[in-house]
Each structure stands twice: as C-alpha cells, then as structure tokens.
Amino acid sequence: MAARRIIAVLCAMSVAVAALVPPAFAQSKRKGPSLIRDAEIESLMRLYTKPIFQAAGLNPGSVHVYLINDPRINAFVAGGQRIFIHTGLLTQAKTPNEVIGVLAHETGHIAGGHLARMQIEIDRKSTATIIGMLLGAAAVAGGAVAGDGQVARAGGGIMMGSQGLAQRMVLSYARAMEASADQAAMKYLTATGQSGKGMLTLFQKLANQSMASLQNVDPYVLSHPMPLDRIRNLEIAAKGSKYFDTADKPEIMLRHKLMQAKLVGFLNPTQVVFQRYPTSDTSMPARYARAIAMFRSGDTRNAIKVIDTLIRDLPSDPYFHELKGQALLEGGQPAQAIAPLRQTVKMLPNNGLIRIMLAQALLGTENKANAQAALSELRLARKTEDDTPSLYQFMAMAYGIMGDIPRADLATAEFAYYRGDKELATEKAKIAMASLKRGSPDWLRANDILNFVNRSD
C-alpha cells in the first residue's frame, strides 16, 4: 500500500510497541501511533485473512493484524509478520472485498519476504546514501499520499544529489516489490474464490487522489508504481479472474457495516455519530453506532434500551451482549455488567479480551468471592493476552482485594514491565521477591522481570 514503506523497515518497532491498551474497544493514550484493541474487529480481520494466509502458505496463527487509529486510507507491513491497517481504510471501504484485497496485498509482502529483502538492499548502501534515501523517500511518499505536489517534487530534488543513482536503485527495487505484492494478492484472491474488484476499486480511488500531486514527478523517485500503470495491470489481472463478479456474502456485509458503525461510534463526537446515523435510520448498524454514542456521552439508560433491541433482533451476535456489558460497566454498574459479559464469554470462550472485561466487572463489585472469580478469568485470558498490561493491572487488584499483597506486587511489576515502566517494574519485583518463597514459581517470575528489565537497559 501507500506511504513510507522504506522508513517502516527501519522504524517498525516504534509502531509495534504502542500496542499497550486496556481490553474491549480501547486505544493507546501514548504519543505516536494509537493502536486499538477490539474483539469484534480483530475477529473479523481473522475471518478475512485466514484463507488468504493459507493460500500464501503462511500459518494464520503466526501473522497478526493491528488496527491503527488514523483516518487516512493506508495499510503496511512492519516488524516481521505484522500487518497494520488504518481505521480510515476500514471506515471508507464500501465492501469487505476492498479490505480483503488490501490485506491480500500486504500478505504478498510477507510471503515474498520483502521487508527482509529491502533491509538487505538498504544495508548494501553507505550511511550517507541511506540518510539521503530516507529523506527523499519520506518527502515523495508523503507528498504522494497527501496530494502535495510541491513536497513530492522536493523529494525528487533530494534524490538528485550525489547519491541519487543508488537511491533510485533502491526505489526501483521497492516498486518491483509493490508490483509483486499486487500480483501475489490477485493469486491469493483467485485461489480463495474471491474477486479482485474490491482491490481494484480501492486502488483506483487512491490513484485518483494522488494524480494531481504526481503530474510532474519523476516516476523513478517513487516507492510505488505510477498509479495509471498500476491500475492498468490490476484491471487486467482482476477482470481475467472467473471470480471477478463474485459478491460478498450478506452476513459478511452486515459484519462489515457493524464494524464501521462501531468505529464511527467510538471515534467520533456524539453529534457526528447522529449526523451519520440519524434516528430515522433503524438499521442494525445505525442503532449500534447510536447506542455506543449514547453510553459514551453518559446516557447509559437509553443506550441499554437500544442495545436490547439489537440483542432481540440478532441474539446470536456475541458482540451485542459484549456492548451491553461494556455500557453498564462504564456507566458505573459493574454488578449488572456481569451477566451480559458472562453470556459473551459463553459464546466466545477463547477470547481473552472479553474475559478481561468480565474480570473488570467482577472486581468492580469489590467482593472477595468475585475477586477470586475474576482471577480465574484473568488466568484463562492470559493464554492469549499474556502481554496485555491491563490483565496484570486487574490481577493486582484481585490479589489486593483477597489480601495477597506479595502477588499483588508481582502482578503490578508485570503490569509495569509491559507498560515499559522499568523503574516501577524493578521496585515491585524486588518487593515481591522479598515476600515470596525463594525458588517458587512466583519468585522465579519476579526474578525474570528483574533480569529482563536489566537486559533491556
């Protein structure tokens, strides 16, 4: 996809470490890229990607898709087998097929080992060349995406320096990889019986947005193929498939629209939500978005009424029950949130994020018996969410309510470690070790935290 592929090779971890967020629909409050965690959206991304990954010969459990809160249409691969996708792509894609096409393209980069190969290509150049290349590529890619022709031309000027030839060689390599990823995407879509129409449509939209800024730009200083050339090749490949006119299934289309409604409801002011989904619109997605906006603005009572209509109309959807639990929990009614969240866990027993939210509701009652139940939920959630900081935060609360202070300190140390707070992690790990039996599993875990913190200094 568009924007800064070369820079992502060198800066991937600065993006990945931002994924430290609470359970349910939540986003990081740290500076820089804000990543969102949401059980429903992550489940939909797994549904989209599983057949694509299998067609590409990749283990679906080894490739992860992360959601970045950014209104622009974009997606990229970084940090190994990680795909990052912008909320702007999800909210602006008219069909699931458009999103799947982009995910197939990014899968082509992973299957082709493009990041590693690009790193090797960069490593062959001198330090001065790398600096010039990154400056020029950033200016050109940024201008191409933002529609800023002057920026794009400025990037071209940087490329024309003494290291211009080497830079052009690297960018030529990048363009070849983009073309290769396009071809691979079409192969995966055909292998899974899906259309390339969505990919073609979305890339045409991006091409139309960038045409004005690229009128006088040298094609040899771009990291992606020229838009018209790219679209022409995609069109030939897409229309050549017997699946070109294959439409998305109605149930997948509904999930796509519900996902968009959820993003709009959580990421926009209430007024914007009601403008996009007026009360005259009684569809499920519209009610979903309005219910989210209502409880976020403090109107829990009316939000629950709307959510109950969604559950009535589609009781098999676990995420309506989850939303009811979240609305009650955030509305200051943790005891009432337990039942709908337990129903969600019953429907999705392997989802760690929902178990963490259930544990949060149980802890909100400040009851020792519920604290023990919360701890059980958190231990189960740990199987899939062992690097989620809030899991350990709630574990510390559970142990605290139960009066087990040494393990509360250990859990706090783990919470601090995953948040990147080395000072607090060290302090709490030492306190825990002083109280725990030497050589016990918990003592060894506290000692591991100390060792990891010291090793990363």
Residue 22 has what pLDDT?
44
pLDDT in tens, 346-388: 999 999 999 999 999 999 999 999 999 999 999 999 999 999 9
Residue 419 has what pLDDT?
92
Q: Of 221, 239, 257, which residue is a domain's last? A: 239
- What is the CB neighbour count within 10 angstroms for residue 41? 23
Asked if the structure places residue 250 within a domain, the reply is no
CA distance 257 to 267: 15
Range 207-216 average pLDDT: 52
Domain that holds residue 119: 5-239
Element (H, E) at 68: strand 64-68
Query: Residue 58 has what DSSP assignment?
Result: -
Q: Of 239, 258, 290, which residue is a domain's last? A: 239
Average model confidence (pLDDT) across the chain: 82
Cα-based angle 30, 11, 16 (whole degrees, multiple of 5): 45
Sign of CA dihedral 447, 450, 453, 457: negative
Asked if the structure places residue 271 within a domain, the reply is no
Asked if the structure places residue 439 within a domain, the reply is yes
Percent of the chain with pLDDT over 70: 75
CA distance 168 to 424: 47
Range 249-274 average pLDDT: 97
Sign of CA dihedral 318, 319, 320, 321: positive
Angle between helices 149-159 and 127-146 (to 10 degrees): 160
CATH number, residue 58: 3.30.2010.10
Asked if the structure places residue 134 within a domain, the reply is yes
Q: What is the band of 2 on the pLDDT scale with cuts at 50, 70, 90? A: very low
Instruction: Evaluate if residue 212 carries a pLDDT over 60.
Output: no
Least confident of 33-42, 59-68, 110-119: 110-119
Residue 398 has what pLDDT?
97
Range 86-110 average pLDDT: 94
Instruction: Evaluate if residue 15 carries a pLDDT over 70.
Output: no
Asked if the structure places residue 416 within a domain, the reply is yes
Tokens of 70: 């950014």
Instruction: Evaluate if residue 185 carries a pLDDT over 80.
Output: yes
Q: What is the band of 76 on the pLDDT scale with cuts at 50, 70, 90? A: confident
Longest CA–CA span in the chain (Å) reads 71
Dihedral in degrees, nearest 10, Cα atoms 123, 150, 88, 111: -30
Pairing relationship of beta strands 26-27 and 35-37 according to DSSP bridges: antiparallel
pLDDT in tens, 119-165: 665 555 555 455 554 444 444 333 333 334 443 444 444 444 434 54
Count of domains observed in the chain: 2
Least confident of 1-10, 124-133, 166-175, 240-249: 1-10
Q: Of 239, 265, 283, which residue is a domain's last? A: 239
Range 106-126 average pLDDT: 71
pLDDT in tens, 219-231: 333 344 456 777 8
Asked if the structure places residue 321 within a domain, the reply is no
Asked if the structure places residue 327 within a domain, the reply is no
Q: What is the pTM of this model?
A: 0.80
Residue 324 has what pLDDT?
98
Q: What is the band of 18 on the pLDDT scale with cuts at 50, 70, 90? A: very low
CA distance 375 to 358: 10
Range 396-402 average pLDDT: 96
